[in-house]
Structure 1
Amino acid sequence: MKTPHCDICGKSFSISNNLKRHMKIHTGEKLYSCDLCDKTFSQAANAKVHRRIHTRERPYSCDLCGKTFSHSGNFKVHCKIHTEENPYSCDICHKTLSSGNSLKVHRRIHTGEKPYSCDLCDKTFSHANSFTIHRRIHTGERRYSCDLCGKTFSHANYLTIHHRIHTGEKPFSCDLCDQTFSSVSNFNVHHRIHTGEKPYSCDLCDKTFSHANSFTIHRRTHTGEKPYSCDLCDKTFSSGNSLTVHRRIHTGERRYSCDLCGKTFSRYSSFTVHSRIHTGEKPYSCDLCHKTFSSGNSLTVHRRVHTGEKPYSCDLCDKTFSHAISFTIHRRTHTGEKPYSCDLCDKAFSSGNSLTVHRRIHTGEKRYCTLCGKTFSSCSGFTIHSRIHTGEKPYSCDLCDYSCKTSGHLKSHLRVHNRKTPKQ
C-alpha cells in the first residue's frame, strides 16, 4: 500500500487524515475560529487548546510538583524534568534535551540558522515562537491581560510569569544554593553561576555570556545599534528593558515598594538588591578575597580591584574606568550635561547621587551613627565613618601588608611604591 505523502513538501504520513490536516499549512485554510478573540486555526484541537488561554483551564497536572499545563505536549516535556529523561542528544556539544523539537531549535545555535524572517524589519529568528512574539512589536498587539493589575503582554508565557509577582510563586528551585525563581529561563541562567557555563561568545572581543539576551545587547556596544527610542525625549537605548526603566523617569512610576522601610523603586532588580540590606543576605562571594556582596554586579565591579581591569575608556581624554556609571558621569564633564535637577532650587547635577545628597540641604536629612551620635549627609561619609567603630579596612596593598579604610588612602599609599628612586 502506498504511503500517503504531501506533493508540495514531500512529507509522508501513516494516516491519510494527518495528511489532510497537514495540507492546510500550505493552503492556509483555517476553519476553526476562537469566539473570544477571533483568532483562527487549521485544526480543531489547536483551537481548543488556544481557548484555555482565555478560560485559564489547565487540565494537565504534575503529580510530583503540582505544576499545571493547558497543553498535553508541554506537560509530557515537563515530566521529563523529574525523571531526568533527556533522550535527544546534540552531536556537536553533546547537550541532551527532553524533546526532538528542542534539539532541532538547539542545533541552530551551532549552525546559525534563522529560518524565520520579519518582512517589516528584516530581523531573523531561529525559533517560530520568537518570530511570532517579535511581530507583535510592529502590530502593537498585547492580547494577554493581567486580571489583578491590568498590565498587558504580547505572549501568554509572559503573563504567567508576571502573575507570579502577585502570587509570590517561585516554582523553580536551585539544588545548589536553594535560591528560587519564578521562571525556568531565570533558573537556567542562574545555574550557570555555579557551572561557569557561558555558551555565548562575542567574535569581536571574545567576551562570553551566560545569557543569549545579554550577548545580543552586548553586540550593540560594537555596532552602536540602539533600536529602542523614547517617544518623550528621543533618547535611544540598546535594550527594551532600559527603555522601560527610562520611561519611569518621565512618568514618576516606582511600582516596587519595600514593606520594611517604605522606599520605592522603578526597577525590580534594584528592589531585590535593596531588600538584602534588611535581610543581610550577600549571596555573591569573591573567590580571591572572600568578600561578599548583595548583587552580582557589585561582585563584577569589585573583582576589577584585583584584576586592575578598566573596560570603559573616554575617547575625549583617554581616562579609563572600572564601572560603567562612573564612565557615564565622567562623560558629562565634557558634554556639560546635567540631567538631574532639584525641584526646590532648580540646581542641576550630573549624577543622581549628587542630587540626592544636595536635597538633604533642603530637607535637613542626615544619617545618624548609633554608636557616637555623629550625623552625615552622604551615604559614603557615613560608611567610611562606620569603619572607625568596626575597624574594617577593606582596601589592602598587594605590595606590602598595608590596609586602610578608604580607596583614597590606598591610592596615596601606592605612590610610595611607585615613587622613582632619586638619581645618585
Structure 2
Amino acid sequence: MAKNMCLICGKSFHFPDGLKIHLQFHLEYRNTECEICGKAFARLGDLKRHGDIHTGIKYECELCGKAFTQDSSLKEHGNTHTGVKNYQCEICGKAFRQLGNLKTHGNTHTGVTNYECHICGKAFTRRYGLKKHGNTHTGVKNYECEICGKAFSHLGNLKTHGITHTGVTNYECHICGKAFTRRYGLKKHGNTHTGVKNYACQICGKAFTQIAHLKEHLTTHTGVKKYECQICGKAFTRLRDLTRHGHSHTGVINYECQICGKAFTQLWSLKIHRNTHTGGKNYECQICGKAFTQLGNLKRHGKVHNEVKNHDCHILCGSST
C-alpha cells in the first residue's frame, strides 16, 4: 500500500498532513455542501469562499482593474505584477507565480498527455498547447505583424518574427561570421559547413541540409507550378525561379562578365558563361562521361543516348541503326 494513502478513495499524498486534511472531506462533507450547486468541501472556509462565485462578489486589482470572485485569486494574481514566484517545482526547481501553472507544469515530468488532437492524434500536456496546435490544421493566423502585415498561427512565432525588423542578430556563426536573428537559423546554417544532410527525399533519395530545401525539391516530383509570372503567364515550381525569370521582363542587367563584358540578367547565367573562358566542364554525362561547359549542351547531348533506333538488321547482325 502506498504511503499516506486514503483508504476510502485511494488517493495518495506526499505528506501526512495532506492526508489528514483530505480525510475531513469524507468525514464532514455533509456539513460543508453548497446549497446552490451541491459541491462539497472539506473545510467551512472553502465553502464560504466558493459562495462568492454565486453571489457575484468581486475583488478588484488596484493595478490593472481585473476582478475576481475570490480573495485568494486576487492575491495570486498580484504575483503577476510583483514578479514573485512562490510556487516551485520539486523536481526541476522551476518557479511559477500561480499554483495552477505549477500543476500544469508537473505534467511535463509525468509524461501525462491528456489533450489529444482529434485530427492527427498528436497529444499535449496542456490544453493551451492543443489549442495552439489546432491552428496548424485550420490555417487560422490570428497574430499579425504590425510592421509588415505577415500573419502567424502562434504568438511565439510572431514574437520571433519581430526580431527581423529590429535588426538584432545575436546568433553568429563562429566559422564564417554570418549572424542570425534566431538560434534556429544559426543551427540550420551550421549544416552548410558540416555538410550534414538530414533531410532526404522519400521519392528519389536526394538529401538536403535544410528542410526548406527539401520541401522546395518535392515540387519537382509533383509537377505543381504554383508560382506564375503575372506578365507572360509562365509558371514555376519554385519561387526563386520565378524571381529570376522576372528579370527577363524588366531588362535589368546586373551581372557582367569581367573578361569579355557580356552582361546577363541572372547570376547563374553569368556563372555558366564563365566556363566558356575558363574551359571548366562541370556538366558530365552519366552514361558516356563526356563533359560540357553548359547544362543546356549536356541536355542536348543526352538525346543521343535516348534516341529510338527503329531499323533492325535482321539479315547480318540483328543490331539497330
Normalising TM by the smaller chain, what interval? Answer: 0.5 to 0.7
Alpha-carbon separation, structure 2, partners of 1:128 and 1:82 = 16
Corresponding position: 1:367 with 2:286: yes
Paired residue type of 1:216? T
In structure 2, do the counterparts of structure 1 residues 323 and 71 end up closer, same or farther at CA, with 3 Å as the change threshold?
Answer: farther
- Corresponding position of 2:27: none
Contact 1:256 1:264 in 2 (8 A): yes
Which among 190, 211, 231 is matched to residue 247 of structure 1? Answer: 190
SS at match of 2:215: helix
- Corresponding position of 1:302: 245
Per-residue CA deviation, residues 252-287 of structure 1 (Å, 9 max, x unaligned), is: 32222345554432222323333444x252333424
- Corresponding position of 1:4: 59
Question: Radius of gyration: which is bigger?
Answer: 2
Per-residue CA deviation, residues 268-315 of structure 1 (Å, 9 max, x unaligned), is: 2323333444x25233342444433232221222233234356x689x
Corresponding position: 1:281 with 2:230: no
In structure 2, do the counterparts of structure 1 residues 130 and 289 end up closer, same or farther at CA, with 3 Å as the change threshold?
Answer: closer
- Corresponding position of 1:45: 100
Residue identity over aligned pairs, in percent, reads: 28
Paired residue type of 2:285? K
Deviation at 1:321, TM superposition (A): 6.6
- The CA RMSD over aligned residues, in Å, is 5.1
- Corresponding position of 1:30: 85
- Corresponding position of 1:236: 178
In structure 2, do the counterparts of structure 1 residues 7 and 29 end up closer, same or farther at CA, with 3 Å as the change threshold?
Answer: same
Corresponding position: 1:216 with 2:164: yes
Paired residue type of 1:381? N
In structure 2, do the counterparts of structure 1 residues 305 and 387 end up closer, same or farther at CA, with 3 Å as the change threshold?
Answer: farther
Per-residue CA deviation, residues 232-263 of structure 1 (Å, 9 max, x unaligned), is: 24x32455566444433432322223455544
In structure 2, do the counterparts of structure 1 residues 68 and 283 end up closer, same or farther at CA, with 3 Å as the change threshold?
Answer: farther
Highest relative contact order (Cα 8 Å, sep 6+), 1 or 2? 2
Alpha-carbon separation, structure 2, partners of 1:320 and 1:3 = 75
SS at match of 1:30: coil
Decide which moves more: 236-245 or 265-274: 236-245
In structure 2, do the counterparts of structure 1 residues 375 and 283 end up closer, same or farther at CA, with 3 Å as the change threshold?
Answer: same
Deviation at 1:367, TM superposition (A): 3.5
Alignment of 1:12-411 (within 5 A): 12-63=67-118, 66-73=121-128, 75=130, 106=144, 109=146, 129=156, 216=164, 228-233=171-176, 235-237=177-179, 240=182, 243-259=186-202, 261-277=204-220, 279-287=221-229, 288-309=231-252, 322-323=265-266, 358=282, 366-368=285-287, 375-377=290-292, 379-385=295-301
Contact 2:255 2:267 in 1 (8 A): no
In structure 2, do the counterparts of structure 1 residues 280 and 320 end up closer, same or farther at CA, with 3 Å as the change threshold?
Answer: same
SS at match of 2:59: coil
Per-residue CA deviation, residues 50-109 of structure 1 (Å, 9 max, x unaligned), is: 23334443312344664544333454677799999x9xxxxxxxxxx8xxxx6xx65x72
Alpha-carbon separation, structure 1, partners of 2:136 and 2:219 = 31
Contact 1:284 1:299 in 2 (8 A): no
Give me the TM-score of the superposition, normalised by structure 2.
0.52
Contact 1:226 1:236 in 2 (8 A): no
Deviation at 1:4, TM superposition (A): 1.6
Contact 1:60 1:75 in 2 (8 A): yes
In structure 2, do the counterparts of structure 1 residues 54 and 295 end up closer, same or farther at CA, with 3 Å as the change threshold?
Answer: farther
Deviation at 1:28, TM superposition (A): 3.0
In structure 2, do the counterparts of structure 1 residues 40 and 250 end up closer, same or farther at CA, with 3 Å as the change threshold?
Answer: same
Alpha-carbon separation, structure 2, partners of 1:76 and 1:249 = 35
In structure 2, do the counterparts of structure 1 residues 55 and 258 end up closer, same or farther at CA, with 3 Å as the change threshold?
Answer: same
Deviation at 1:110, TM superposition (A): 7.0
Contact 2:255 2:266 in 1 (8 A): no
- The ranges of structure 1 where at least 4 consecutive aligned residues each deviate by more than 6 angstroms after the TM superposition are 77-84, 324-327, 387-390
In structure 2, do the counterparts of structure 1 residues 270 and 65 end up closer, same or farther at CA, with 3 Å as the change threshold?
Answer: closer
Paired residue type of 2:248? V
How many residues align? The count is: 237
Give me the TM-score of the superposition, normalised by structure 1.
0.42
Alpha-carbon separation, structure 1, partners of 2:186 and 2:251 = 31
- Corresponding position of 1:188: none
In structure 2, do the counterparts of structure 1 residues 76 and 286 end up closer, same or farther at CA, with 3 Å as the change threshold?
Answer: closer
Alpha-carbon separation, structure 2, partners of 1:249 and 1:266 = 7
SS at match of 1:17: helix
Paired residue type of 1:109? E
